[in-house]
Structure 1
Amino acid sequence: MPLQAVRPKILGFISEQASAWLVASVVFLAGIALTFVVAWAACDLNRQQVRQRFQLLVSERFSRLQERFEDQEQRLGSLQRFFINSRDVTRAEFDGFAQPLLLHARAYAWAPRVLREQRSRFEQDISRALGTPFAIRELNAVGELALAAERDEYVPVLYNQTQSQLGSPMGFDLLAQPLRRSTLERAQKSGKLAVSQPMQLVGVEPAYAMGVLLVAPVASRTGAEPFGFVMAVISLRQLVADGLPRPDRDNLVTQIVDTSDLQQRMLYESGNTPSDRDLTVTRRLTLGDHVYALTLRPSEVFDRSSRSSLASILSMGGMLSLLVAALLYVLVSQRQRALKLVEQRTVQLRVREQELRGAHSQLRSVLNAATQVAIIATDLRGVINTFNAGAEQMLGFKAAEVVGRATLESLHLASELQASAASVSLLLGKRIPPSQAMLVQSPDSLHEAREWTLVREDGSQLIVNMLGTALLDDHGLWVGHLAIYLDVTEQKRAYEALAARDRLLKKLSAHVPGGIFQFTLKPRGEWRFIYASDGMRDIYEIEVGVLQQDAEKVFERIHPLDVERIRASIRSSAVQLSHWREEYRVILPQRGLRWIRGEATPEELPGGGTLWHGYVSDISDLKRVEEELRALSITDSLTGIHNRRYFQDRLKAEMVRVRRTSGALSVIMLDIDHFKRINDRYGHAVGDGVLQELCKRIGQRLRRTDVFCRLGGEEFMVLCPGTDGQQACRLAMELWESLRSVPMDTVGTVTASFGVASWRVDEGIDGLLLRADSAVYLAKQAGRDRVTPEKLPA
């Protein structure tokens, strides 16, 4: 093979005769063009990213404001329900309920309806209750509160809970102002929340004076005339701006306008400066019966944080193009000088070739001494010129039969050479003929022995490891190839036997539920999985290869509350050489929380450390069944509330607590009146419905800490931790009222007899329950349908 035939072109496509300046100029111009393309793409990508970022900021700001508006409706709704469920509300009760609601609202107020003939009596009653003069007032011409004129109806502010330092406008008649009157009339007519037009709020600091009034009617039942109104005084500045970034750091310019306001007054506008971008989004915000237009635009802060990198790309691209052009100029010019030097050395090479032939015989004698290794050398054309004794013994050919006559290609299996040539050609990006496939090495397998199949003289095949290298003369010029073969047939058979054993083990482990493993703990505390079946991947959602490299990945999956216990149990098993068995939780990325059971048998390693053989399995379904059985054991199947067993367990636990802390504990026992008559008259199906409806009404009135249980039949018990006797009596009265106030379907009004008892020092469970049962008995003796507190000791 001639030397010129194997010379690659520069970078695979540049001719060696091309001018260095021409190559550098072409590459520089191509780099500049590519830089402009990249800059255009980066600019377009930057515009898309800016729009996406703006949309994300808009969605977050809109969601936050919508949540605040909905939160104000929910808070006022809870105050409305408080007055509906407890009509006679004192000032202290109002303050206690309304004060926690003061978030993003300036004030909450209660204003009852007062008719003309009720005004005098109402002012006297309130003055007597307050201890100070009270009168219904209105704003006069100069904006001061004065006595209200005579009207058919008044709605004065009676209770007020405010954040303002100016105090509360007690007695201010809301009907005296047109805006407030129209808002109350809309709320009274619709029976729902109503919002006023933008107004100057009374009793609010000037900074928060612009806002709206959110009103909810309070009526004894649906469809009835309200007997008063609860109100939220909302400053748009406080509602919108609290919690938002400062104007000099805010990315968005925010504006809010009431769409029903004919004057289109600006309810809120942030103080930052808008940018020049044509990005504007308008969303709808709802509060009560009004719709507000929320307009969001990017600010100058947004512009500063969204600048394009166009200038940087252009400058860096130009510098990089110039650098590559200079590098190619140096490379081409140096290679051209090197080719000239090669031509000068060619003459010297021919002279040395004669010398090499003289040394060939001496080299052959050395090669023939290696009888267990086949050493074959070729010239550049691939024709064999060296065939040692080891090659004769391995392949069955005589040296005289192949030297100068056969090529290295003829000794290899033809189909294998063709497949390898196609693979190497694809990898290197140029065609490699089959005759050179065994000599051309990929960059990742350089100087590594490769496995090939040779054909003996008798036609049989032989598997060998081949190391091929180039033969160079004293000047480093390529003069041929050297191939060294080692017979690996027996090693191949042993490897295949081991592979068959591994496949058998893998098949067996695939049919075992869970995962099989070998785990070691070194004396220095190092964890390692020696073996892990494919089932371990399913258990922990970790690839087996990753698991064997880093055992800590398993402990990262274990629940934080269980991981230290599992580590301690492994160390204990290693010290005592005891069987390891644990159940623990894991948190998986895809399947979430799962329960795992693991078992392993340890053995001590000769060099120190411990080796476990074991398995793990998923027991989440078993744990779920156990939880369902436990829930069924403490739940009444008819009503869905807790049963007697759960009540007894909780009562024991609470008795231990109150004895330790000297706290309070009360129980409320109730028995449905004449329940047997209901079953006899309407049937047991209706009776079951009565029990379920009773549990629903009682459950809605109880606190989260109270425990509601069915003792059996029509007897029920409420366990009230941290509750004294008076508080329990008030709760029992509420339960009694909720049961008898609304008739039930089919049977009408259903009543019950209630008994209340609270824990006494040094008293046991039986004593507490006996006093509650006695109170129920007294209630039934007194005519039923009542609440009887415990009888106090004499």
Structure 2
Amino acid sequence: MPLQAVRPKILGFISEQASAWLVALVVLLAGCALTTIVAWAASDLYEQQVRQRFQLLVNERFARLQERFEDQEQRLNGLRRFFVNSDDVSREEFDGFAQPLLLRARAYSWAPRVFREQRGRFEQEMSRQIGRPYVIRELNAAGELVPAAERDEYVPVLYSQTQSLLGVPLGFDLLAQPLRRSTLERAHRSGKLAVSQPMQLVGVEPAYATGVLLVAPVAHLSSAESSSNEPYGYVMAVISMRQLVADGLPKPDLDNLVMQIVDTSDLQQRVLFESNNVVADSDLVSVRRLSLGDHVYALSLHPSQVFEQSNHSSLPTILSMGGLLSLLLSALLYVLVSQRQRALRLVDQRTAQLRLREQELRDAHGQLRSVLNAATQVAIIATDLRGIINTFNAGAEQMLGFKAEQVIGQLTLATLHSSSELEARSASLSVALGKRIPASQAMLVESPDNPHEAREWTLIRQDGSHLSVNMLGTVLLDDHGLWIGHLAIYLDITEQKRVYEALAARDRLLKKLSAHVPGGIFQFTLEPRDNWRFIYASDGMRDIYEIEVSALQQDANKVFERIHPQDAERVRTSIRLSALQLSHWREEYRVLLPQRGLRWIRGEATPEELPGGGTLWHGYVSDISDLKRVEEELRALSITDSLTGIHNRRYFQDRLKAEMVRLNRTSGALSVIMLDIDHFKRINDQHGHAVGDGVLQELCKRISQRLRRSDVFCRLGGEEFMVLCPNTDGEQAYGLALELWQSLRSAPMASVGIVTASFGVASWQADEGIDALLLRADSAVYVAKQAGRDRVEVVARALDPAGPQSGPH
């Protein structure tokens, strides 16, 4: 039967003769059509969801705003009932009731009705109550408050509780302005709440200036049920529309809606409130009606760009992903069809070639048998399916002492192995594979964890002695690929085991010794091309550097990563110098450890040159952090004055020498300020040495607070002190000395009063030595003492035999 007749179709339905390009094109068109259908359905669903979300946001926003408008009406009605139910309301009672009502309102006020004949008596009574003149006022043409003109009736502001910084002018007549007058008249006629036209509020931020005046008439309780109710005053709420509407709403860059509120009764259609965010490019819009008092407001709601961005359509994603998947699927099918067609052609070509090579393999098989028999150092043993030995080469005879004729056809492979090992191996394989493995086949079954692994076995020689070998077993196949037996290859490892055991004993001894040595022991090489490597590292190295020993041996640079950046290059340089000179290496350096932080390490090693190039060091490292800490503490004690805590004479001399070296090398400026406490012996004699010590400590505290970070403050001894001022010229040093002088005499010290000191200032001059500079500073102090103490003197020039020369003070 021809080969083409039994080949299945690709994917079960595509003929092999079909063009790969045609299959890919059909799949691409089908995928694009399906993507279009899904995108159309998703687009329609998206439009419905967007409208539903917009309506939910609109309903929630409208309900919140209507609730706030009603809340303002309820608060003002509450204030009106407070006046209705009270015979007389004092200012304190009004403030206590109105203060909690100020949520989302700028002010609450009470204005009684005052008639022409009552005006004089009313103003006198109010002036007496508030303790200052009270006059009914109005705004003139210049916008100034002046006494109101004569009218039949006034409605002046009497009480007011406001959030405005400017407050509400008491006595302002609300009937003096047309806008407020019309609002009061509507409230008077209806007996209910009335709202003014949009107005600009005074004393608030410009963004909150647009608002309205909400007015409620107040009538006596006895006539409250009468339809001809005549109010005797009005309570009012000044409302900023932005404060009322925007308080508590999302920020503009997070708000999903754009709002606009317009008073429908306003002929100018002025906008009372408008959101600051940007309207989205959408046809969605909703208009609702809000009521406040006797006015109705139009609330227009549009979606914002935030709403548009959070509700973006998935149509582009669907189209792009669908098109991409269609393209990938068509490409995959093209590759699949074309590769299969190409593979079938290659199969036909390879089949002819394999048949030609089959004969060559038969010839090579015979040659291979000869090669196996020639291997005298390796035992090669082959068995049939029953395990009976049918091949026993010369290496097996030499290794086990048997002759081939004694073994072939007589013994099985299992008889050459230790029975106890086979039984133990059989038990472990049975557990791992979940089925019983006979002991006679245990050496031929591969472990599921490590297939093709060469395992160690013990063989029984002809004389009964044991032989340790490594065995590698495999199956034997005939020319048709059928399983016909097994092949076992054995390698004698007796000598190798003896060497390994000796090395293991040496390693255990070395590890035990290194574990009891403080610090870490190492062998380190520097090979050509700057290759650093640890050949050996004890467990102490892990404690020193907080790095596992295995990681150290893999990458020596991990140690240098632990070394402090300021010390790393110095350590590398010292190692290279030791390698170049074959000199003993010794360094002290810092390391930064993840757990213990900064530590000091001392390392020593002896180098030797390697035959192939490079250098090998044998050495150790130890932690000397405690020793370094003691050294630092001793150094700090040696340069610190024990009484005052500042630096002592020794430290001053060292720093001054260093600064002079710097000046001679790079030039610059340097000044010193010397001070001596005036009459310090008198303080000790009158108050005792304990008080004198306290004076010295307080003086050091005041001086230190005024010094700069670069200045060095030292005690020379007794009551003498010195300030070293690097990079400071004479004028700057003199200004600093004046500040220090003033800090001492500006405030008294406990128990002794004002303590003063005499200051001397000297600045370094070219080619001048340390002694000359200090002599001029000391001379300046002497001049200050001679001039009456408690002053600052400067010796500006080098001293000559004529005596000290002083500068300005």
Q: State which of 582, 586, 606 in structure 2 corresponds to 1:581.
A: 586
- Structure-2 residue corresponding to 1:468: 473
Q: Structure 2 counterpart of 1:666, which letter?
A: S
Distance 1:765 1:374, change over 3 A: closer
Give the Cα–Cα distance (whole angstroms) in 2 for the partners of residues 777 and 670 of structure 1. 10
Does residue 616 of the first structure (1) align with residue 630 of the second (2)?
A: no
SS, match of residue 519 in structure 1: strand
Task: Specify the alignment match of 1:162 in structure 2.
Answer: none
1:448 Cα offset (Å): 4.8
The change in CA–CA distance for 1:556 and 1:404 in structure 2 (over 3 A counts) is same
The alpha carbon displacement at 1:497 in A equals: 1.1
- For residues 374 and 509 of structure 1, the distance between their equivalents in structure 2, rounded to whole angstroms, comes to 43
Indicate conservation of the 8 Å contact 2:460/2:466, yes or no: yes
1:744 to 720, 736, 749: 749
Deviations 1:263-311, CA, capped at 9 Å, x for gaps: 89889997644589xxxxxxxxxxxxxxxxxxxxx98999799x9xx99
Q: Which amino acid aligns with 2:523?
A: Q
Which of 491, 500, 504 is the matching residue for 1:499?
A: 504
- The amino acid of 1:792's aligned partner reads S
**Equivalent-residue separation in structure 1 for 2:403 and 2:719 (angstroms):** 109
How many angstroms apart in 2 are the aligned matches of 1:549 and 1:315? 50
3-state SS in 2 of match to 1:464:
strand
Deviations 1:235-287 (A, max 9, x none): xxxxxxxxxxxxxxxxxxxxxxxxxx9989889997644589xxxxxxxxxxx
1:779·1:788 contact (CA, 8 Å) conserved in 2?
A: yes
User: Partner of 2:700: helix, strand, or coil?
Assistant: helix
Which residue does the alignment assign to 2:383? Answer: 378
Q: Return 5+ residue gaps in structure 1 as ranges.
A: 1-19, 22-140, 145-176, 182-197, 208-260, 277-297, 331-355
Shift of 1:785: 3.7
Paired residues of 1:364 and 1:388 also in contact (CA < 8 A): no
Q: CA deviation at 1:554?
A: 3.7
- The aligned residue for residue 408 of structure 1 is 413
Change (3 A) 1:366 1:550: closer
**1:717 to 2:731 alignment:** no
1:416 & 1:685 partners in 2: Cα distance? 91
Matched with 1:667 is 672
Does structure 2 conserve the Cα–Cα contact (< 8 Å) formed by 1:666 and 1:756? yes
Q: For the Cα contact (< 8 Å) 1:384–1:408, is it kept in 2?
A: yes
Alignment match of 2:740 (pick from 731, 735, 757): 735
| 1:470 Cα deviation from its structure 2 partner | 0.7
| 1:513 alignment partner, SS class | coil
- 2:806 alignment counterpart: 792
**1:532 match:** 537
Structure 1 CA distance for aligned equivalents of residues 512 and 506 of structure 2 = 10
Q: Is the 8 A contact 2:676 2:757 kept in 1?
A: yes
Number of matched pairs: 492
Q: C-alpha distance in 2, partners of 1:371/1:461?
A: 19
CA RMSD after TM alignment: 5.2
1:481 alignment partner, one of 480, 486, 492: 486
Q: State TM-score, norm by structure 2.
A: 0.50
Q: Aligned partner of 2:604: which letter? A: E
Structure 1 residue aligned with 2:520: 515
State the distance in 1 between where 2:684 and 2:245 align. Answer: 65
* 1:704 positional shift: 0.9
Task: Report whether the alignment pairs 1:764 with 2:769.
Answer: yes
Distance 1:396 1:764, change over 3 A: closer
Mapped contact 2:674–2:777 kept (Cα < 8 A) = yes
Aligned: 1:606 with 2:620? no
Q: Distance in 2 between matches of 1:302 and 1:577?
A: 72
Between the aligned partners of 2:550 and 2:437, the Cα distance in structure 1 is: 35
Q: Aligned partner of 2:445: which letter?
A: V
- Change beyond 3 A, Cα 1:724–1:498: closer
In the TM superposition, what is the alpha-carbon distance from 1:699 to its structure 2 partner?
Answer: 0.9
Check 1:677–1:608 CA distance in 2 against 1; reply closer, same or farther (3 A cut).
same
- Pair 1:614–1:363, CA change in 2 (3 A): closer
Please report how far the alpha carbon of residue 717 of structure 1 lies from its aligned counterpart in structure 2 after TM superposition.
1.3
Q: What is the CA–CA distance in structure 1 between the aligned matches of 2:748 and 2:760, rounded to whole Å?
A: 22
Q: CA–CA distance in 2 between the matches of 1:410 and 1:464? A: 15
Q: Secondary structure at the match of 2:382?
A: strand
- 1:662, distance to aligned residue in structure 2 (A): 5.6
Give 3-state SS (helix, strand or coil) of 2:633's partner: helix
**1:627 counterpart letter in structure 2:** E
Shift of residue 707 of structure 1?
Answer: 1.1
Contact 2:646–2:714 at 8 Å: present in 1 too? yes
Map 1:232-631 onto structure 2 (within 5 A).
272-273=253-254, 373-386=378-391, 407-417=412-422, 419-420=424-425, 434-442=439-447, 446-455=451-460, 460-631=465-636
Secondary structure, aligned partner of 1:637: coil
Code of the residue aligned with 2:699 in structure 1: it is: L
**Structure 1 match to 2:124:** none
TM-score (norm 1): 0.51
Other structure's SS at 1:630 match: helix
In structure 2, distance between residues paired with 1:311 and 1:636: 80
**Cα distance change, pair 703–401 in 1 and its aligned pair in 2 (3 A):** same
Amino acid paired to 2:639: I
Distance in 2, matches of 1:397 and 1:630, equals 83
Distance 2:711 2:663 in 1: 15
Q: Is residue 2:695 matched to residue 1:690?
A: yes
- Letter matched to residue 519 of structure 2: G
Output the amino acid matched with 2:487: L
**In structure 2, do the counterparts of structure 1 residues 764 and 575 end up closer, same or farther at CA, with 3 Å as the change threshold?**
closer
The secondary structure found in structure 2 opposite 1:737 is helix
Could you say what secondary structure the match of 1:719 adopts?
A: strand
State the AA in 2 paired with 1:739: L
Please list the CA deviations of residues 314-346 of structure 1 after superposition, one character each: whole Å capped at 9, or x if unmatched. Answer: 999x99xx99xx9xxx9xxxxxxxxxxxxxxxx
The one-letter code sitting in structure 1 at the alignment partner of 2:659 is E
Cα distance in 2 for residues equivalent to 1:446 and 1:783: 103
User: CA 1:444–1:633 in structure 2 vs 1: closer, same or farther (change >3 Å)?
Assistant: same
Q: CA deviation at 1:576?
A: 3.2
Q: Name the aligned partner's letter for residue 685 of structure 1.
A: A
Measured at CA, do residues 480 and 511 of structure 1 come closer, stay the same or move farther in structure 2, by a change above 3 Å?
Answer: same
SS for the counterpart of 1:503 is helix
Equivalent position of 1:68 in the other structure: none
Amino acid in the other structure paired with 2:677:
I
CA distances 1:24-77 after superposition (whole Å, capped 9, x unpaired): xxxxxxxxxxxxxxxxxxxxxxxxxxxxxxxxxxxxxxxxxxxxxxxxxxxxxx
Match of residue 638 from structure 1: 643
Structure 2 CA distance for partners of 1:431 and 1:739, relative to 1, 3 Å: farther
Q: Which runs of 5+ in 2 are unaligned?
A: 1-10, 13-138, 143-162, 168-201, 208-241, 258-304, 338-361, 796-804
Deviations 1:472-503 (A, max 9, x none): 11111112112222332232112211221222
User: For 1:689 and 1:268, how far apart are their aligned partners in 2?
Assistant: 63
**Aligned-partner Cα distance in 2 for 1:426–1:315:** 51
Distance in 2 separating the partners of 1:304 and 1:559: 54
Once the two structures are TM-superposed, the CA of residue 709 in structure 1 deviates from its matched residue by 0.7
Amino acid at match of 1:502: D
Closer/same/farther in 2, CA of residues 539 and 272 from structure 1, 3 Å limit: same
Residues 166 and 203 in structure 2, CA contact (< 8 A), matched pair in contact too: no
**Following superposition of structure 1 onto structure 2, how do residues 24-35 of structure 1 map, counting pairs within 5 Å?**
none
Contact 2:164/2:203 (8 A) holds in 1: no
Residue 700 of structure 1 pairs with residue 705 of structure 2: yes
2-structure distance, mates of 1:412, 1:465: 12
CA contact (8 A) 2:670 2:729 kept: yes
Q: Post-superposition shift, 1:629?
A: 2.6
Q: 1:469 to 1:540 in 2, by over 3 A?
A: same
* Percent sequence identity over aligned pairs: 76
| Contact 2:780–2:806 (Cα < 8 Å) also in 1 | no
Deviations 1:152-191 (A, max 9, x none): xxxxxxxxxxxxxxxxxxxxxxxxx99599xxxxxxxxxx
